[in-house]
Each structure stands twice: as C-alpha cells, then as structure tokens.
A and B are shown apart, each in its own frame.
Chain A
C-alpha cells in the first residue's frame, strides 16, 4: 500500500546517487578458467577483455605441471570512466595428468579459500570498510571439441564445481566442428547436464523472479549453453573490414560473427548483461552457503572437500533448500513461547484444582 505523494520529492535521484557512488568506487570481477592445456583459455580471456590479460605459455617453454596449479593475475582496466579491477585465475595442469583423480581438489580449494578469506574478514572485530572481494564470480569451464559427449572428468569436475561457484561451460576451439556437429554435441551435453543434475549458470532458481525481461533473457541464454567459441587476438582483413579471427587455409573464422561462433553471446552475458548478477549470486548464494556450512560445523574441515562428494551429509543442505535466498530463519524464541503457554496452562489447572 503506497502512500501517495502530492508533488515531486526527489526520491528518484537515488538511482543517480548510487550510480555516482559506484563510479567512484569502481568495480571488481574475478574470473577463473578451467580446462586442459591448449584449449585456448588465455586467448579467450584476452579476446573478451580486448587486452593482454593472460599471458599465453610460449610453446617452446611449455611443460606440463606435475599438479594442477592455480595462478591469479590482476589488472585494472578502464572504459568510459569506469574502472574495473579484473582478476583472472588460470589452472595450468588441469586434466593433463595421466591420473586425473581428484584434479578438482586444488580448484575447489582455491574457490573455498577465497570464501574463507572473505569470511575471516567479515567476522573480524576490526574490519575494513570494504572487504576485498577475491571470491570467484565466474568459472568458465572448457569442454574439448570432441563432438561426442562430455568426458567423465568433465562431469565429475562440473558436478562439484556448480555446488560452490557459478559455472559457465563453453565448447573450446569450436571451429573444428561443423554447425550440425555442433548442435548435436550441444544437445548431448545438455542432456548429460540434466541427467547428472549439474546446475550451470544461470540457475533459474537463483534468479529474481520479479524482472520478467531478465528472466526471459536468461532462459534464452540457458538454451544456448554451452557456448561454442573461438578466441583470437589477431585481426585479419575480410573484404573491407578488419575482423578478429583465425585464418585457416579455407577461410577466416570471425570471432565476433554470430554465424561463425557464439563468442558474442558469451561476452555479452559475462560483461554486458550478467556481470552484476554473477557477483550477486556468488555473494548471496554460494558464499552464504559456504558460510552456513562453515559456521555450522565449526570444525576445521579440509577446504578441498567441502561439498565435494555428492553423497556427503553437507550436500543435504543444498538439496533441501531449493532457493537459498529464501531460507527460513529458525525462530529462536519458539521454545520460550511454548514454555510460557505451558506454564499458563499449569497455573490455570492449579487454580481450578483448589476450587473452594
């Protein structure tokens, strides 16, 4: 029930005030890329952000790390007066070992470590005005373009990652697939994701149901997943234009051409439409879940196993809460209330017993 205003007050200037504040403070965004070596992770990040954010490993020096490493590099980029602190976490060595059992553990440990850091700061007595946010907002998972189906390791890793972070799967180096092969591949992958209950981003249950346009847009995006992408930082001449692309003997694959690949969709989703949402889902859903588990157990749980096994008891928390945002609060005074009611009953009984 709104109280009617009889004239202009100026409440609507709040949006402008918030915008100004945001511009002053700047933004931050943390991306993680997960995939085997040579799938074009660094190139993709560089293509999205149109700058040398990641340094590609030169082929001569390349050596397979003996374990999965986690490497984070941060940069500040600026566009039209807006400052963005971008951190990219790479995972060299992932999926490259002979035995890839538990290759997800270092990744999960890294994600959980960031939550842990944030939680530590949040819980301190003396805490900073703005808690530095190193939590991973978005994890891009690179699927090799086999054309068949997800590999076992893909399923195992994604299954665990979606529990703790926003995962966006992409088909890497998709220029090796024809359009029909690509569609078939996607259909198989989508089916496998449903089969294994792997909830990739955007997860419609975490969405604000209020905004219908946003909901529609996210539904469409979801249907397109995983995005078939091609990355490149080199430009070539096509006709009269200079385009970003890969030159092959049979033509130029244009990165930003929707007929060639789905790079634009990925880029638009991550940067132009869903960046804020990615951050909010991380903060309000994944982080809260982590915090909940952490405070509840209060024991030192090994950080790489939190939420790792689908059958572990902590998993039940995920299953029983379909919408994390709306988790009900246990009324702490319910007990006292009941006790008061009971005692009142007692007194009444005592009085009635002793009726003269």
Chain B
C-alpha cells in the first residue's frame, strides 16, 4: 500500500509535491529499522505431526543449533503442546524464538479430538494478546508476543496422500494460523513418487478447501521467487545435525549404504527452500499476516460473540473494556463461588466424617467398656467358681484326712 491510499479515506487536497532540494527523510527506513532492532524480535513456530517424524531434528537443522529435546515416546494418553523459548542472535538481530511441539499427536487410537488441544493453544495465545490490548493500563510494545506465526504441518511420507487426520486438523487450523505443509523424512520417497505425492496432496487440500499459507507476491523484489516457491509446496524436507565429509567440506547429511542424502542439496530435498522462505524472506510477512489477518479474525469473532457491536456513535464501544472486564470478573467470581462452595462442602464433609468417627469411637469405647465389664464379670464368676472349687478341694482334703485318720 502506497502512503497515499489507505483503506477508506483519501484526503482531499493531497497532492504530490516536488522537492526543490534534499530534505533527508530517506533516512526514515534506517530510523525504523534501528528502533525495531533495539527492541528485538519474536517468532513463534508450531510443529504439528506424528511422533517420530523428525520435527525436533528439523528445527535443530533449520536453526543450526541443538535445542535439547529428548525424543518423545509413543504412549501419550492425549495431545499436549509443549512450548520452549530460546534467545538467538545473529549480528545485531536478537530473536526470541518459541518452538511449540505437539506431543502425542497421532498416537492415540481415537484421534477425533486430537486437533482440539492445538486449536485451544492457538486461541489461548490470541486471547492473551487480546486481553493485553484491552487493558486500560497496557504495555503492548514490550509485550512478549506468543501468537503462533507459522505452523509447520508434518505429513507422513506414505506416498499416497493425506491422512484423514491431516485433513481434519488442517481444516480446523487454516483460519487461525499460517499453515506451511512439509513432507517429513522425505528421503523415504523416491523422486518420481515425490512429484506425484506432492500433486496429490495439493489436490486434496484444494478439494477440501484447506487454505495454506501462500508466500506473498506483492513486493516485486521477492514476488518472483515467492511465486516459484509456492509451486513447490509442500516442501519435502530432510533434517540432520550430523555432518559427513564430502570432498573437502563438512555437510549436513544422512548416510545410507546406498548413498548419502545431503540436507542442503536442492537436488536431494527442499530443505533450503523451506529455510529460505520461512526465515530469510518471509518471516516478517508471517508475523504481519498473523497479526492483521488471523488475530483480527479471532478478535472480531470473540468480541461479537460476547455481544459487542460497532456503534457508529462511538460511545458504546468505550465500555468495551468495562464490559469485557466485568464479564471476566463475573467469570472469575463464578469460579470463586464454586471454589467457596467446594470449600464449604469440604468443611462440611470433614465435620460429618469427624462426627462419624466420633460416633464409632464412642461405640468402640462402649464396646470396650462392655467387654471389660463382661470380662470382669467372667473373671468374677471364674473367681467364684475357683473359690468354690477351692472350697470343694479344701473340703475334699478335709474329708480325706478325716477318712485317713479313721
């Protein structure tokens, strides 16, 4: 968009003037870049794919570092999202990179609900941003943006097409995040099959109406390369952090008995294309689209859902913050109320239990007393019996003695 056309208003009396000398605002882009660089950047990638598709390895390869992730096992009961944030720096550019991994995706028997935690996570980041934006006292410019800027969807290299889980998941995500599909562990698929595989996948995406991220073609300096890359989607990637000596260089590769797959060789896989598109050309566009397209959509539907409408008078919307806050407070109060209820119930139950215990204690005591009494009585009886026996014995002895003296 040129400075002159804004969506909506074009000012009257706005004409292009000719400068009669050097003014100096050609330093503007530098000023802007300097400010942005000082502040630092944020980029958040979400990796979705079944366990074992090489997501972590690909991230390590992409960013030339070891992100310390232990390989996950396959028996997770559900899908969980794990986010890790790293501080990276290259020359004067500081990047806060967050990699979100979908742990346990595709491992369950019933995968109907698999996509839900992912959607929830993405929504939660939007929600956090929205809440910050709506605060009265806010610090939007130093806010750590956790919204997902790029979603790498890892497709299993079956060679046949997309799985229904893939379609279902992507369909639920395409209006929330920029999806970049990749074919994982692409060294499994032969070159001929790869081409057919890609076409099949793209057809299935189109047929099912899944909107994946298109590399932008409005900037003429990158339009051509972006347009060309769009035709290579989904990227067939291979990841590796191990280096093999090739000639006199060390290259990242995977070594097999039948040959070596070089990660950065464009004849072997599309890794270089992915890195180029994701990091070196379109990172900023991914961030912008997330903010101006996906976040706006979320914001709009969330606010509409909460009952807000645009009142052209302008007056109503000022209570947006207040009503949002009050609804949130209601929610919190509801939670608090429930908590109080639970607490009261807990105290009641404790008292009840206590009463029961006291009762049974008393019963035990009574029983004990009774037993004791019984025992005493028994003892008494026995004593008496003993005494009477003793008496008998003494009597008997007496009689015996008497009989003996006779």
**Chain A residues in contact with chain B, CB under 8 A?**
1-15, 17-28, 48-53, 73-85, 120, 123-130, 132, 208, 210-211, 267-268, 271-277, 280, 284, 288, 291-292, 294-296, 298, 300, 325-330, 332-333, 336, 339-340, 343, 346-347, 350-351, 354, 356
The stretch of B138-146, B172-180, B185-193, B380-388 in contact with A is B138-146
Q: Is the Cβ of B28 less than 8 Å from the Cβ of A27?
A: yes
Any A CB within 8 A of the CB of B121: no
Which B residues lie within 8 Å of A73 (CB)? 13
Q: Which of A20, A51, A125, A347 contacts B310 (CB 8 A)?
A: A125
Query: Which of B77-128 touch A at CB < 8 Å?
Result: 86-93, 95
Which A residue's beta carbon lies closest to that of B9?
A132
Nearest CB on B from A348, distance (A): 11
Q: Is the Cβ of B31 less than 8 Å from the Cβ of A275?
A: yes
Any A CB within 8 A of the CB of B283: yes
Q: Which of B65, B310, B315 contacts A5 (CB 8 A)?
A: B65
Q: Is the Cβ of B137 less than 8 Å from the Cβ of A327?
A: yes
Q: Is the Cβ of A123 less than 8 Å from the Cβ of B318?
A: yes
Query: Which of B200-222 touch A at CB < 8 Å?
Result: 218-219, 221-222
Q: Is the Cβ of A24 less than 8 Å from the Cβ of B1?
A: yes
Which B residues lie within 8 Å of A336 (CB)? 332, 335-336
Q: Which of A9, A17, A276, A330 contacts B31 (CB 8 A)?
A: A276
Which B residues lie within 8 Å of A329 (CB)? 135, 137-139
Which B residue's beta carbon lies closest to that of A83?
B3
Q: Which of A4, A74, A275, A346 contacts B25 (CB 8 A)?
A: A275
Which A residues lie within 8 Å of B332 (CB)? 332-333, 336
Q: A14-B284, A329-B137 are in contact. Are A130 and B6 (CB under 8 A)?
A: yes
Which B residues lie within 8 Å of A339 (CB)? 336, 339
Q: Is the Cβ of A295 less than 8 Å from the Cβ of B23?
A: no
Q: Compute the total of residue contacts between A and B using a CB distance below 8 Å.
A: 270
Any A CB within 8 A of the CB of B322: yes
Q: Which of B20, B299, B314, B328 contacts A50 (CB 8 A)?
A: B20
Query: How many positions in chain B have a CB within 8 Å of any CB in the partner chain?
Result: 103
Which B residues lie within 8 Å of A327 (CB)? 137, 139
Which A residues lie within 8 Å of B406 (CB)? none
Which A residues lie within 8 Å of B89 (CB)? 2, 5, 11
CA distance A329 to B18 in the complex (A): 47
Nearest CB on A from B27, distance (A): 5
Nearest CB on A from B38, distance (A): 6
Q: Which of B11, B87, B299, B321 contacts A2 (CB 8 A)?
A: B87
Q: Which of B65, B138, B314 contacts A120 (CB 8 A)?
A: B314
Nearest CB on B from A213, distance (A): 10
Q: Is the Cβ of A347 less than 8 Å from the Cβ of B33?
A: no
Q: Which of B3, B288, B314, B350 contacts A351 (CB 8 A)?
A: B350
0/1 string, B32-49, CB within 8 A of A gives 1: 111111100100000000
CA distance A246 to B321 in the complex (A): 55
Interface centre among B292, B315, B321 (most CB of A within 10 A): B321
Any A CB within 8 A of the CB of B396: no
Any A CB within 8 A of the CB of B163: no
Q: Is the Cβ of B350 less than 8 Å from the Cβ of A82?
A: no
Which A residues lie within 8 Å of B229 (CB)? none
Which A residues lie within 8 Å of B28 (CB)? 22, 27, 82, 84, 275-276
Q: Is the Cβ of A284 less than 8 Å from the Cβ of B141?
A: yes
Q: Which of B4, B139, B319 contacts A325 (CB 8 A)?
A: B139
Q: Is the Cβ of B2 less than 8 Å from the Cβ of A26?
A: yes
Which B residue's beta carbon lies closest to that of A87?
B11
Q: Is the Cβ of B281 less than 8 Å from the Cβ of A347?
A: no
Q: Is the Cβ of A5 less than 8 Å from the Cβ of B23?
A: no
